[in-house]
């Protein structure tokens, strides 16, 4: 199982009302939540670990998990409110976010919400994004990652939201500690440029490899993706697509990468450390096609397996 841990929230997506004025439509989202939905739609066994509200938005979140066959065995529920995130496209075409998360359910993810043991069936733990910025959930997840280091694949997507980062040095320290424990760091070029503004992407990725990460995968939008390990440095082109928006694109890419590894019995730390160029290229090509479908429609609406080209099935 690919178990995704962290925030589950409501994205409010820009829309147009009947009189032509701007409004927002609610849609379940969150980086690890989107990754779980995407992996399940691609046919991988997927689950979600986190705390979800009992309010009406929490019901929307859990209903979508159920509809997409994501395991809810590891969910906790509470009467705290759901985190809300308003999303709009910037003049550069990138997604911008405003978060409302005071005392919210997912932010309050606590040690008592974490299973004492994860079964061997959980081959991969996915974590990252804003859940590593908001306490007390951030420390709960960091402690879980420390506990699970070496036991299974740990796949980390920092998904930087700089407007939420109040203490940059402290965040960088936590980022390096978690990256050094991770089998995979899936990040964007924009994330690495924010983290290490003085370094070329390759040098930043090599620094993470030297710290302990087995594989760094960098998404670069229309410029494709790049994978770097101790033995690899390969690039894969983006799939041409008419972009509606990029919400959830990185999450879908992440899910596509992990699903391909799962399908080929490579979702374990030893296999990932020894990936061949051919395997890495195939995994990233599959992930690129998954992300392209997501980009072609509004909101985080990941691809189903049947929507991919027959050659990728």
pLDDT single digits (tens) 31-56: 999 999 999 999 999 999 999 999 99
**Residue 91 is assigned to a structural domain of this protein:** yes
**Residue 20 is assigned to a structural domain of this protein:** no
**Residue 164 is assigned to a structural domain of this protein:** yes
**Residue 38 is assigned to a structural domain of this protein:** yes
Per the structure, the complete domain to which residue 186 belongs is given by 2-13+25-306
Distance CA 236, CA 241 (A): 15
**Residue 282 is assigned to a structural domain of this protein:** yes
Within 10 angstroms of residue 213's Cβ, the number of other Cβ atoms is: 24
**Residue 19 is assigned to a structural domain of this protein:** no
Distance CA 32, CA 11 (A): 13
Out of 15-19, 197-201, 254-258, least confident range: 15-19
pLDDT (mean) for 233-248: 86
3-state helix, strand, coil in the chain (%, to 5): 40, 25, 35
90 pLDDT tier (thresholds 50, 70, 90): low
Does residue 16 have a pLDDT over 50?
yes
**Residue 312 is assigned to a structural domain of this protein:** no
**Residue 311 is assigned to a structural domain of this protein:** no
> What CATH number is associated with residue 168?
3.40.1190.20
What total number of domains does the chain contain? 1
How do strand 9-16 and strand 22-29 relate by DSSP bridges? antiparallel
């Amino acid at each position: 199982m690919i178990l995704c841990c962290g925030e589950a929230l409501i994205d409010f997506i820009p829309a147009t009302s009947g009189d032509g004025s701007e409004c927002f439509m609610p849609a379940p989202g969150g980086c690890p939540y989107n990754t779980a939905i995407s992996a399940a739609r691609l046919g991988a066994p997927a689950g979600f670990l986190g705390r979800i509200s009992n309010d009406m938005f929490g019901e929307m979140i859990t209903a979508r998990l159920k509809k997409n066959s994501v395991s809810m065995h590891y969910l906790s529920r509470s009467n705290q409110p759901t985190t809300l995130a308003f999303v709009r496209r910037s003049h550069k075409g990138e997604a911008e976010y405003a978060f409302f998360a005071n005392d919210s359910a997912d932010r309050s993810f606590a040690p008592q919400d974490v299973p004492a043991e994860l079964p061997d069936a959980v081959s991969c733990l996915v974590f990252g994004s804003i859940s590593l910025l908001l306490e007390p959930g951030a420390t709960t997840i960091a402690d879980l990652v420390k506990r699970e280091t070496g036991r299974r694949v740990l796949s980390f997507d920092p998904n930087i939201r700089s407007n939420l980062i109040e203490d940059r040095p402290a965040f960088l320290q936590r980022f390096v500690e978690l990256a050094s424990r991770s089998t995979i760091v899936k990040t964007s070029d924009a994330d690495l440029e924010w983290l290490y503004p003085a370094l070329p992407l390759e040098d930043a990725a090599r620094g993470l490899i030297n710290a302990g990460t087995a594989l760094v995968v960098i998404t670069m939008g229309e410029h494709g993706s790049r994978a770097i390990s101790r033995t690899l440095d390969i690039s894969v082109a983006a799939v041409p697509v008419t972009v509606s928006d990029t919400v959830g694109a990185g999450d879908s890419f992440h899910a596509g990468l992990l699903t391909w590894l799962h399908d080929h019995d490579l979702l374990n730390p030893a296999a990932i450390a020894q990936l061949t160029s051919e395997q890495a290229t195939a995994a990233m090509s599959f992930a690129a096609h998954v992300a392209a479908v997501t980009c072609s429609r509004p909101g985080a609406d990941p691809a189903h397996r049947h929507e991919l080209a027959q050659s990728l099935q």
